[in-house]
Amino acid sequence: MLEIKGIAASAGVAIASAFRLEHPDYTVHQENVADSDSELKRLDDALAKSQQELEAIKQRTEEQLGAKKAEIFESHLLILNDPELLDAVRDKITSEKVTAQYALDEVAKQFISMFENMKSAYLRERAADMRDVTKRVLTHLLGLNYINPADISEEVIVIAEDLTPSDTAQLNRQYVKGFTTNIGGRTSHSAIMARSLEIPAVVGTQEVMAQIQIGDTVIVDGLDGKVIVNPSAEVLEQYQLKRDQYLRQIEEWKKLKEVPTQSKDGVHVELGANIGTPNDVTGVLENGGEAVGLYRTEFLYMGRSELPSEDVQFNAYKTVLERMEGKPVVVRTLDIGGDKELPYLDLPKEMNPFLGFRAVRLCLERQDIFRTQLRALLRASVYGNLRIMFPMIATLDEFRQAKALLLDEKQKLTSEGVQVSDSIQLGIMVEIPSTAVLADQFAKEVDFFSIGTNDLIQYTMAADRMNERVSYLYQPYNPAILRLVKMVIDAAHQEGRWVGMCGEMAGDATAIPLLLGLGLDEFSMSATSILPARSQISRLSKAEMEQLAAKAMGMQTAQQVVELVRSIDE
Amino acid sequence: MEKNFRITDEDGIHARPATALVNTANKFKGSEAFAEANGKKVTLKSILGVLSLGLEKGDDLKLIVEGDQAEEAIHALAEVMINEGLGEVHA
């Protein structure tokens, strides 16, 4: 028995035998043949087999993940039948008397290099599609014994170095019970896909490929980030129990989908979700989210070669607002700069990006960018319940300037005859200690606060959370942080404002009792954390948690606070 | 028959709309369809050809159809261009 530690990327426990997903060697050597006709025949056979596979994958993806995710395979089918590609390959086979695999590989390389040299980043990525299709046909031509992830037909745990988007999209949930990879983090593509497929996953183990052989019995514990290889009978039984418990718990959680979030003593708090794209709304609704507590608009700006136009933004905001059907949507204005780069803005590198030219600081200087976003937001405001939030506010003056620009654009739109909602709430993110300390003054001018704990903690503790040597100072439960959060909440309530939290801390089971006790009104977290959080809160008494929080704030260390919270039985 | 377009999609011509264009062109067996842009002409029945044009927002694109049902085909293709939000008809 062997235990390997990794990062818990998708919750749940899975037990099955190991399937090693390794991409074979596709190197092709030049070889001459006498009989071109038989090569043409081999090519056609390989194409026919590939076609069958692709059609099956496309159909299955459509059934499991919807038509949108299946479109990629529709493109692959077209590439497979592309006349430009096939004419060139057939021509090469007959005129140069080479093998079908060599001809295909050579022609495909030309297309791949053409895509790789394109100006548009989007088209450059199409090289990957060309590679995918070529490999599929080569597998047949080379007689490789490679089982495509899509062809897995018994229950397995997939073990891989990493999973490409194409690998992950082909995983059949019916048979792939879980997966584990050597590399990757919680936010890597494969981890995100695992959560949306609801397959338990542990990533970033560094060693599963070296330690696990085909057929080994493997336990993937996506709750605690552990992989266990060839467990003893006792351990196996223990994990079967853990798996069944988790499955029962999911059923329990599902019952809470339509129920408003309420503590045991009847206090209602709002549970919202953090999203990055309009597509994420599906997950929010499926998990019973009462709001979008944080819509990060950065993704609209990333992965393209120029700023998104007002219309592109308008459509995204409108989609989110409409799909939330009147439930509140907090949109954070552009939070970029410093460590989050936009290549086309050409910002200079900074010594201290976290303390630098970013977020609202950048927006107040680059008013062209900011005004475009504000106009798009204002135009979208009539389609739902919009709340606008400015990030990284350090002074009252910054808030006033940002608000003035918003009002200015609103005025312009109204005079152009464009309809704009009159009930947009305007708030700020509290993530800089100066703002937390002055919250009583801010509360007179804003409609709400949302506490961004990731940054607030690192600024309060003066420790870069990315720096491993000081990461021990990233302490959400430090009494200093709790007192700061309390200050913000009290100041806001004094003026009749509400306070949310949109950092990691809001969805953390250890933090939730404390935050409830401190009087937080809205918790925003990843969509899949909503139902567990709702279930937890329903078992907590707000009045009791107030006492707990008061006790915690009087403690000396974060460790003591954690022990205090663990000592309560729900 | 030919028709000129200006690409309006922020991301140029994507794989998905390109797929729709090629599938539409393929429906008209009796006619040949071509796309011409930036001095390059490709068959519209090849997705690799269409993507190889490397179209970006603001580029001009000419669709050309010859043979049977040319009018019907160009009409169908223009519909894809507009419905997919790819481009607008341009004189």
Residue B64's CATH number = 3.30.1340.10
- Say yes or no to pLDDT of A269 above 90: yes
Instruction: Pull the structure tokens for residue A527.
Output: 């969509």
Residues A156-179: b if buried by 16+ CB within 10 A, e if exposed: bbbbbebbbebbbbbbbeebbbbb
Count Cβ atoms within 10 A of the Cβ of residue A264 and give its class: 0-12 exposed, 13-18 middle, 19 or more buried: middle
**Residue in B with minimal Cα distance to A130:** B48
**Single-letter code of the amino acid located at A211:** Q
Provide the edge-to-edge strand list for the sheet that holds B60-67: B40-43, B31-37, B60-67, B2-7, B87-89
Question: Mean per-residue pLDDT for A173-201?
Answer: 83
- Say yes or no to pLDDT of A330 above 80: yes
- Is A454 labeled as ligand-binding? yes
Is there a catalytic annotation at residue A502? yes
pLDDT digits (tens, 9 = 90+) for A491-549: 999 999 999 999 778 988 999 999 999 999 999 998 888 999 999 999 999 999 999 99
Highest mean pLDDT among A108-112, A144-148, A394-398: A394-398
Which CATH topology does A261-542 take? TIM Barrel (3.20.20)
Residues of A in contact with B19 (CB under 8 A): 71, 74-75, 78
DSSP structure class, residue A336: -
- Is A332 labeled as ligand-binding? yes
Within chain A, all domains assigned CATH 1.10.274.10 are found at 36-142
**Residue in B with minimal Cα distance to A308:** B10
Q: Which of A82, A122, A304 sits opposite B47 (nearest CB)?
A: A82
pLDDT of A42 reads 96
Which CATH architecture is the domain A36-142 placed in? Orthogonal Bundle (1.10)
Q: In angstroms, rounded to a whole number, what is the distance separating the alpha carbons of residues A302 and A149?
A: 30
User: In CATH, what class is A2-23+148-252?
Assistant: alpha beta
Within chain A, all domains assigned CATH 3.50.30.10 are found at 2-23+148-252
Does A72 touch chain B if contact means CB atoms closer than 8 Å?
yes
Count Cβ atoms within 10 A of the Cβ of residue A398 and give its class: 0-12 exposed, 13-18 middle, 19 or more buried: buried
Q: Residue A74, Cβ neighbours under 10 Å: how many?
A: 20
3-state SS, A442-501, equals HCCCCCEEEECHHHHHHHHHCCCCCCHHHHHHCCCCCHHHHHHHHHHHHHHHHCCCEEEE
pLDDT digits (tens, 9 = 90+) for A361-388: 999 999 999 999 999 999 999 999 999 9
pLDDT of A272 reads 96
Does A122 touch chain B if contact means CB atoms closer than 8 Å?
yes
Q: How many helices (H) and strands (E) does chain B have?
A: 3, 5
Q: In angstroms, rounded to a whole number, what is the distance separating the alpha carbons of residues A538 and A266?
A: 9
ipTM over 0.95: no
Instruction: Pull the structure tokens for residue A454.
Output: 């990731």
- Closest Cα of chain A to B71: distance in Å? 23
Q: Which of A79, A304, A309 sits opposite B48 (nearest CB)?
A: A79
Q: What is the β-pairing status of strands A498-501 and B40-43?
A: unpaired
- Is A117 labeled as ligand-binding? no
- Say yes or no to pLDDT of A131 above 80: yes
pLDDT band at A191; cut points 50, 70, 90: confident
Percent of chain B residues past pLDDT 70, beyond the cut: 97
CB contact under 8 A, A309 and B10: yes
> Which among A205, A73, A208, A42 is positioned nearest to A138, based on CA atoms?
A42
pLDDT of B91 reads 62
Residues of B in contact with A75 (CB under 8 A): 15-16, 18-19, 47
**DSSP E strands, A103-261:** 156-160, 176-181, 201-203, 217-221, 226-229
Q: Mutation test of the interface with chain B: which of A84, A86, A310, choosing the one with the most B Cβ atoms within 10 A?
A: A84
> Which among A333, A339, A477, A345 is positioned nearest to A393, based on CA atoms?
A333
CB contact under 8 A, A78 and B10: no
Q: In angstroms, rounded to a whole number, what is the distance separating the alpha carbons of residues A542 and A547?
A: 9
> Which among A303, A351, A296 is positioned nearest to A120, based on CA atoms?
A303
pLDDT of A170 reads 72
Q: In angstroms, rounded to a whole number, what is the distance separating the alpha carbons of residues A153 and A485?
A: 51
Number of domains composing chain B: 1
Residues of A in contact with B48 (CB under 8 A): 79, 82, 84-85, 111, 130
Chain centroid to CA A199: 15
Q: Which of A189, A268, A363, A493 is catalytic?
A: A189
- Is A274 labeled as ligand-binding? no
Q: Residue A32, Cβ neighbours under 10 Å: how many?
A: 9
Count Cβ atoms within 10 A of the Cβ of residue B64 and give its class: 0-12 exposed, 13-18 middle, 19 or more buried: middle
Residue B17 vs residues A327, A449, B45, B47, B58: alpha-carbon distances, Å:
33, 42, 13, 10, 17
Does B51 touch chain A if contact means CB atoms closer than 8 Å?
yes
- Say yes or no to pLDDT of A138 above 60: yes
**Residue in B with minimal Cα distance to A71:** B16
**Residue in B with minimal Cα distance to A124:** B54
DSSP structure class, residue A358: B
User: Helix or strand or coil: residue A60?
Assistant: helix
Q: Which of A72, A78, A114 sits opposite B52 (nearest CB)?
A: A114
Does B3 touch chain A if contact means CB atoms closer than 8 Å?
no
Is there a catalytic annotation at residue A29? no
Can you give the residue range of the structural domain that contains B30? 2-89
Q: Residue A207, Cβ neighbours under 10 Å: how many?
A: 13
Q: In angstroms, rounded to a whole number, what is the distance separating the alpha carbons of residues A402 and A208?
A: 50
Within chain A, all domains assigned CATH 3.20.20.60 are found at 261-542
